[in-house]
Structure 1
């Protein structure tokens, strides 16, 4: 492990604890694990390779407060209650009124206000009616026809970051379709971006006695695991390298992230879902004016890429959607950037598989995984949360058994 340049050790009598837990990774999963372990009485050290905490939940510094792709906090999962009980969510940006939200759907080349009726019919099916072992497109086509099935599959790209949701497990996709289309919406937006939630979580960890070391890249867990359980809360690719375990692989999406800012103009849409292909565009300043300078709009797009497509293809497709929803945006442009997120967008389940088939949390020898691609249920961030809680629960249980046996 490289020497830490930043180390924070709170002076508290709570440092006298019998169980020591090391958390590697200071993103949402790592902070959840650290807080949970500390609340349970463990002595926790958290290592983060970056100079700030947050991981993919980090909000960019500067005048344009962007996240790594569109971010929202869904209130339908257990993490919402957990965060709220600890006063970690903070102020929420108000959602635009439904009648003025101006959500638009690109269907058959044009922007529309309503989805195909067949897609709405599909929403009446309960998630348990969708089979695990059949792909969504085949199942949904049998239910409502090809047009509705394809539109629904493309809409779900907002919650999967995958270029072909129709090829995934019908149960996996339909669960996300139902939640992504709920009214009132489950999605909420912390004011100031996700970074505000991370800051509150970091403060709580500090107050609980968690020792946080930033700029502290861990290259080996050998020495750490001898001190107590280790929770690896990194990307699956990083965990694979750190643990030297080639089996740590999983299905994920690959997507182009395009962020632009331009001068405000009356009539700009709030969000666009591409039902002809896959893609989502959202004007985040519609609900939170703090994300960009006064008089400017911040728009973020995520365009899932097929294996044959590259960054330029995703940017071109994003620009097509910008042209539809934000007339004259090029003349109003004040800032832009683009990147490709590869394997960093959460797990997706192929036909015949569920979350239980992803890499197990318990890796043996006191090592546990947490993150959005491991064996835990939930939607997007909920997988990180649920796996972090399970990892800590398993670690503490084993430690207590070992203490009794000693």
Structure 2
């Protein structure tokens, strides 16, 4: 029986591995690092940070998939008391409530928005220029992009609608996202998936693997482009300054501060999960999208402005701090006239498939990784049933789906 090889041990990779193994396939996961998780890794040590703010959206398709397999584990919503401490910077001052126009627009279904028009133009016609600007900046929490108003109206509206849902959809795995990865890896192991860490696959090794069975490349799109030597593997993403802070606890701190004057968000993650920081301390994580020519320092300066508003005396209370820059690592963004179907196809031909958060699969944030991982696995399993000569697969097709796959459901 042919073996399916999966390159990358993150969310997309383990979704693909579990899906393929449940179909009866022999599967090997190849992870270049010593630890699993990809961008879902959680830092070791007293401060359990993720790579930027992370949350699962409860109504997404991956939530049901994880729940059915008992992989979710303990998760927590935002506590009701903390939800009352969400603050908004608008017109330079801190407010307890967002503009009414933003609330009205967030209730609209994404299907009502235009694919061909940019969000700024579409939203301005409905709630005015100021409301449209605030709505675009609020949606940036799920976009990681410096100019949300320039993106497709349908794309931004879907994220605005999900981020502004009541009750909130966001759920947080207790102990960080590494706990979720550990459960997925254990599930894969119990399904006899072979997991090889510290195994870096180059082009030569990939060609060798492809001669023994289908290959699912579940890496970042940049890594996939190099690995497959395919310049066409490209899609727009964000560029974002990330800041992590541990502060000594003080009563009255905001739960989160959303910047409506410019894209930016900072959240006290230990408010919902006390395991993320030592007793007496609070863990904050923030993201501040940057234009292509802006420096990381520019984003950090904006973060400090929000900290001054929502967390008085934060400088004197800081016990630990970390800063970084995420470029092309925050998922796909769709410009006017494009949808997820226009992104790089999952089926690359010759038994090679893509999975990740920048490929042709629907969903918000990590949902794209889950959906593409499932689809790639189904295609790979189908390929093992039809390939009679190792290394020769079906020709590439545009966004081909298998019957009953998650992408089929999205099209009906």
TM-score normalised to the size of structure 1?
0.94
Query: Counterpart of 2:70?
Result: 87
Contact 1:21–1:45 (CA under 8 A) maintained in structure 2: yes
Of 125-134 and 140-149, the range deviating more from structure 2: 125-134
Contact 2:107–2:165 (CA under 8 A) maintained in structure 1: no
SS of equivalent to 1:22: strand
SS of equivalent to 1:330: helix
Match of 1:319 among 304, 328, 336: 304
CA 130–40 in structure 1, closer or farther in 2 if over 3 Å, else same: same
Q: Are residues 1:211 and 2:201 paired?
A: no
Query: Counterpart of 1:35?
Result: 18
Query: Counterpart of 1:25?
Result: 8
Task: Give the Cα separation in 2 of the matches to 1:94 and 1:67.
Answer: 17
Contact 2:202–2:227 (CA under 8 A) maintained in structure 1: yes
- Cα deviations across residues 339-359 of structure 1 (Å, max 9, x unaligned)? 000000000000000000000
SS of equivalent to 1:119: helix
Query: Counterpart of 1:235?
Result: 220
Query: Counterpart of 2:321?
Result: 336
Of 226-235 and 96-105, the range deviating more from structure 2: 96-105
Return the offset for 1:99.
6.9
Match of 1:198 among 178, 181, 193: 181
Query: Counterpart of 1:250?
Result: 235
SS of equivalent to 1:268: coil
- C-alpha RMSD over aligned residues: 1.4
Q: Are residues 1:153 and 2:128 paired?
A: no
Task: Give the Cα separation in 2 of the matches to 1:237 and 1:100.
Answer: 37
Q: Are residues 1:262 and 2:216 paired?
A: no
Task: Give the Cα separation in 2 of the matches to 1:190 and 1:115.
Answer: 27
Return the offset for 1:89.
1.0
Task: Give the Cα separation in 1 of the matches to 2:84 and 2:190.
Answer: 40
Give the 5 Å matches for 1:178-193: 178-193=161-176
Task: Give the Cα separation in 2 of the matches to 1:42 and 1:334.
Answer: 49
Q: Are residues 1:304 and 2:289 paired?
A: yes
SS of equivalent to 1:153: helix
Task: Give the Cα separation in 2 of the matches to 1:116 and 1:322.
Answer: 21
Contact 2:57–2:171 (CA under 8 A) maintained in structure 1: yes
Query: Counterpart of 2:92?
Result: 109
Count of matched residue pairs: 389
Task: Give the Cα separation in 1 of the matches to 2:162 and 2:232.
Answer: 31
- Cα deviations across residues 278-315 of structure 1 (Å, max 9, x unaligned)? 00100001011100011000000100001121111111
Return the offset for 1:397.
1.2
Return the offset for 1:84.
0.7
Contact 1:94–1:288 (CA under 8 A) maintained in structure 2: no
Contact 2:82–2:255 (CA under 8 A) maintained in structure 1: no
Contact 1:91–1:190 (CA under 8 A) maintained in structure 2: yes
Give the 5 Å matches for 1:380-391: 380-391=365-376
Of 391-400 and 313-322, the range deviating more from structure 2: 391-400
Give the 5 Å matches for 1:27-106: 27-97=10-80, 101-106=84-89
Contact 1:132–1:172 (CA under 8 A) maintained in structure 2: yes
Q: Are residues 1:225 and 2:210 paired?
A: yes
SS of equivalent to 1:175: helix
Return the offset for 1:100.
5.1
Task: Give the Cα separation in 2 of the matches to 1:144 and 1:111.
Answer: 22
Task: Give the Cα separation in 1 of the matches to 2:230 and 2:236.
Answer: 16
CA 354–94 in structure 1, closer or farther in 2 if over 3 Å, else same: closer
Task: Give the Cα separation in 2 of the matches to 1:88 and 1:75.
Answer: 14
